Amino acid sequence: MEVQNDVRLDRIATGGAAIGSLESGKTVLVTGAIPGEVVDVELSEERSSVAFGTASKISTESADRVDPVCENVERGCGGCDWQHIAQQRQSALRVEVVEDCLRRIAKVKAPVSSAPALPLNGYRTTLRLGVKKGRAAYRKSKSNELLAIDTCSIADPALVALLEEPGFGKSKEVTLRVSQATGERICIVETYEGVSLPADVVVVSHDDLNHGADVFLTENVLGHDFKVSAMSFFQSRPDGAAQLAGLVNDMISPDAKGDLLDAYCGVGLFGVICGQDRSVFGVEASPSSVSDAGANYKIGDAVEASLFERWDAQKFETVIADPPRAGLKAKGVAKVIETEASEVALVSCDPASLARDAAEFAKGGYELKQVKVSDCFGQTSHVETVSLFVPR
């Protein structure tokens, strides 16, 4: 493996690597490094315009470099890519990533700032895991190889307790979920064969869920109970869900009392918390989430099972949209604009998608007013944002 010595890293890339230049002048993306550092880079791939590698020796160390809290980092676990960066710097880097995407992709400028820090460890209430000889496993960094684990620093302790024993049987993948409000735990498996977990854990197969098994837990966010079925999306952590809903509430006008559209509503998180004194209408594609939102919304609110881009748009005063990683895309933005909303809060889990959507909103006559960046995914380079768009 070729090593390039003394590479100076000067900025951060979407995806979490630090960017520098090789002697040849070619751009290199380096994992395990921090902008400002000078490192030796073990090159893993070289393309015509860009190279990739990992920091193998740090010559000039950033003051923000810390020892990873999780023992699995040294073993090559691909779960967390920013364990070597202090929390404050993680937050600052997320802001830089968002500003960079907005500048490069959307060519718009708007104030971007961090939301208050959330606990860095023990937060994840849903884990998707591989299984190796009955043990929970993560993929190794930049590899398909499974690494058996018996701990995970970012997981809720009630889930970590399930990683300690090889109890997952013959499934290739499992999903673990816990409610921080009630302590209920669910394990979704491919097969029941060989599963051996504590008695309180509700074990259910994908097959049984697809045939109507009614398995759910109850989570609580800001005093509101949410029914969350085993297959329904929920934010990675309840305190993060509370933060995102709080950020949306702070951005939308307190005087707006007209109809509120909760687009990509999931189990109804934003409609419930931000629509307490107004009529809420949710649009959602997943059947189990549609059913959960129906149960979680207040009486009189409604939810439609539909792909958002195919939904028959009506007028709304406020739109909250929280699409998956790919963003709203042109069709979703066009739908939002069809509602003639006077304010749009966009929750986004990918800064490049946010920037592409911001460019579409700009074309459609909406201006980006502000972006708040949440640390929902501490120890990783994932970035979650809440943005406000209003008609120009």
Ligand X SMILES: C[S@@+](CC[C@H](N)C(=O)[O-])C[C@H]1O[C@@H](n2cnc3c(N)ncnc32)[C@H](O)[C@@H]1O
Sequence-separated (6 or more) residues with CB below 8 Å from residue 146: 130, 131, 132, 137, 138, 139, 140
Q: How many helices (H) and strands (E) does the chain have?
A: 8, 21
Smallest separation, CB 167 to ligand X (Å): 29
In the region spanning residues 311 to 330, those forming contacts with ligand X, defined by CB under 6 A, are 322-324
What is the phi/psi pair of residue 245, to 5°? Answer: -65, -40
266 part of the interface to ligand X, by CB under 6 A: yes
According to CB under 6 A, which residues from 284 to 303 bind ligand X?
A: 284-286, 289
- CA–CA distance, 218 with 225 (Å, rounded to integer): 6
Among 82, 138, 168, 308, binds ligand X (CB under 6 A): 308
Cα dihedral 275/257/280/124 (nearest 10) = -30
Tokens coding 40: 């030796």
Comparing CB distances to ligand X, the nearer of 270 and 377 is: 270
Q: How far is the CB of 265 from ligand X (least distance, A)?
A: 5
Distance CA 264, CA 357 (A): 15
Tell me the site size for ligand X, rule CB under 6 A: 20
Task: Choose between 43 and 383: whose C-beta lies nearer to ligand X.
Answer: 383
CB-based closest residue to ligand X: 266
Q: Nearest approach, Cβ of 319 to ligand X (angstroms)?
A: 12
CB 144 within 8 A of CB 158: no
Q: Does 270 bind ligand X (CB under 6 A)?
A: yes
Q: Which of residues 204-243 bind ligand X (CB under 6 A)?
A: 233-235
Other beta carbons within 10 Å of 69: 13
Q: Between 185 and 335, whose beta carbon lies closer to ligand X?
A: 335
Task: Provide, rounded to whole angstroms, the least separation between the CB of residue 305 and ligand X.
Answer: 9
Interacting residue with ligand X among 38, 97, 260, 269 (CB under 6 A):
269
Q: For residues 131 and 148, is the Cβ–Cβ distance under 8 A? A: no
Q: Is 377 in the site for ligand X (CB under 6 A)?
A: no
SS3 2: coil
Which residues of this chain interact with ligand X, rule CB under 6 A?
A: 233-235, 264-267, 269-270, 283-286, 289, 307-309, 322-324
